Amino acid sequence: MLVYRIFKSLIWLYAGLRERVSPGWMQKNSSRIREWELMAYAYSKSPVGVLGGTMVFVVFILAAIGPFISWEPYWEYKIIYDESLRYQPPCLPPWCTDRPIFGTDEWGRDVAAMSLYGFRISFVISIVVVLLGAPLGIVLGLIAGYKGGIVDEIVMRVTDIFLAFPGLVLAIAFASVLPHRIRGFLEENVVARTVLSALFGLREKEYGQLAALISIWFAMVIVWWPGYARIIRGSVLSVREMPFIEAAKLSGLSTWSILFKHILPNVLSPVIVMMTFDIATATLFAAALSFLGLGPQEPVPELGFLISKAGQFFPERSTHVVVYLGLILLTMALGWNLLGDALRDILDPRTRRAIEYREEKEKKG
């Protein structure tokens, strides 16, 4: 199958590079390469996984090039020139050709063009939150679980305190107090401003709104890490007592080596699945925070914010905005959820065995 061949060539590309760097690597890791091939096969055989992966890939492309190919700049308030442009309903050619296909938003801008910016913002935020929050939580959980004693107690108390708040409430609290500070920071620090604006596809001029966006980001990372810390700590506690850890200790490995080379790989599979699902959750969470008004305001076309504005005219005039942007958010989250579902099946050794059998049978028959 096409998907399988794509992944297989990627695997061999990677293996080839590693071999170039350190010769003999392929020989030593041949069983690991085989594992990867099997996982790629299992993935290619899962319609859910391939669908999810494709969706994520498409969203990624749109997020990457969106701000560049958008045909309308987000910073122009069209309604200043023409009041009637506000919330124009969708218009399909060939029946009607004078208005944007999916209609306009509060400021008369083409909703479809705005969504291209929206992809970038939502995608970046969701990925970075999980990629920052998860490792933070994982490392803390590893240390707490492995060291035990007072370190464990302190870390657990702190996570308990953070987990005592429903995520949204804590995020609301942080996201509302941080913008002031961050705005100040962005004012002074030009490098940060340039980099972050480019990252989100915004102009530097909107650094005030960027500050709000960054605050959401921070707030979410703060909300995200305790969950991972708890889970990893639990896994570490059960793995810690196993004989092979004792053997590693006896052979003189340092704590860090044991943590990263022996314990982490064993607790990692469910965490990877969790992270995939979390990216979907983070996408919706960020949109919800913007919806509540804590994120960037106009002119930044953040998806949740646009929906909240449309909500005021719902359902008389703005149904199309809610439906269209809602579907976009749904697609983004659904892609990751499907991917996570498929990954969970792949990484579960039991189901993988079944797939292995099928592969061998296919090879023979």
Partner 1 sequence: MSEAFSLGENEVLRVVDLEVRFYTYAGVVHAVSGVSFYVKEGEAVALVGETGCGKTVTTRAITRLIESPGRIERGMVLFRRRNKKVVDLLKISDEELREIRGNEIAYVFQDPTSALDPLYTIGFHIHETVTAHKSKISRKETLKYAVELLRKVLIPSPEVRVKNYPHEMSGGMRQRSVIAISLSNMPKLLIADEPTTNLDVTIQAQILDLVRRLQGEFKMGIILITHNLGIVAETANRVYVMYAGKVVEEGLVDQVFYNPQHPYTRLLLRSVPNPLRRIEKLESIPGVVPSLINPPKGCRFHPRCPFATGKCIVEDPPGFDIEKDHKTFCWLLEKR
Partner 2 sequence: MGRFIARRIVTFIPTLIGVLLLTYMIAYAIPTDPVRAWVGEKLLNPETLERVREKYKFNAPWYEQFTFFVQQLLTGQLEDPVRHRNVFTEIYSRFTVTVEIAVIGFLFLVAIGLPLGVLAAVKKDSPIDFAVRVMALVGSSLPAFVLYYFLILLLFVYFRTTYLAGIPNVSLACREFISGIPNSVPVLGNVVSAIGSVPMFGAMMCNEWWVVGETFKRFYLPGLALGLLNGGFIARITRNSLLDALSSEYILFAKARGLRKLTVWKHALKNAMVPVVTVLGLNFGGLLSGAIIAETVFNIPGIGRYMYESITRLNFPVIIACTFLIALIYVTVNLIVDILYAVIDPRIRY
169 binds partner 1, rule: CB under 8 A: no
**Minimal distance, residue 357 CB to partner 2, in Å:** 18
Q: How far apart are CA 215 and CA 171, in angstroms?
A: 9
Stretch that binds partner 1, among 33-41, 220-228, 238-246, 352-360 (CB under 8 A): 352-360
Query: 187-196 — which CB contacts under 8 Å span 24+ positions?
Result: none
Applying CB under 8 A, among 168, 192, 248, 268 the residue interacting with partner 2 is 168
**Minimal distance, residue 199 CB to partner 2, in Å:** 23
Q: What angle do CA 336, 341, 346 make, to 5 degrees?
A: 120
Out of partner 1, partner 2, none, what residue 299 binds, judged by CB under 5 to 8 A for its kind, is none
38 binds partner 2, rule: CB under 8 A: no
How far from the centroid of its chain's Cα atoms is residue 62's Cα? 15
Applying CB under 8 A, among 17, 311, 357, 362 the residue interacting with partner 1 is 357
Helix/strand/coil for 10: helix
**Amino acid identity, residue 150?**
I
Q: Mask of contacts with partner 2, 179-218, x by CB under 8 A?
A: -xx--x----------------------------------
> Measured from the CB atom, is 314 or 357 closer to partner 1?
357
The backbone region for 72, taken as left when phi is positive above 0, alpha when psi lies in -120 to 50, beta otherwise, is beta
Nearest to 329 by CA among 130, 119, 117, 109: 119
**Minimal distance, residue 357 CB to partner 1, in Å:** 5
CA distances from 36 to 4, 111, 199, 283 (A): 11, 42, 32, 29
How far from the centroid of its chain's Cα atoms is residue 54's Cα? 15
362 binds partner 1, rule: CB under 8 A: no
Residue 154 half-sphere exposure toward CB, CA atoms < 13 A: 6
Chain contacts with partner 2 (rule: CB under 8 A): 157-158, 160-162, 164-170, 172-174, 176-178, 180-181, 184, 277, 280-281, 284, 287-288, 291-294, 304, 307-308, 311, 314-315, 319, 322, 326, 329-330, 333-334, 337-338, 341
Instruction: Point out which residues bind partner 1 (CB under 8 A).
Output: 354, 357-358
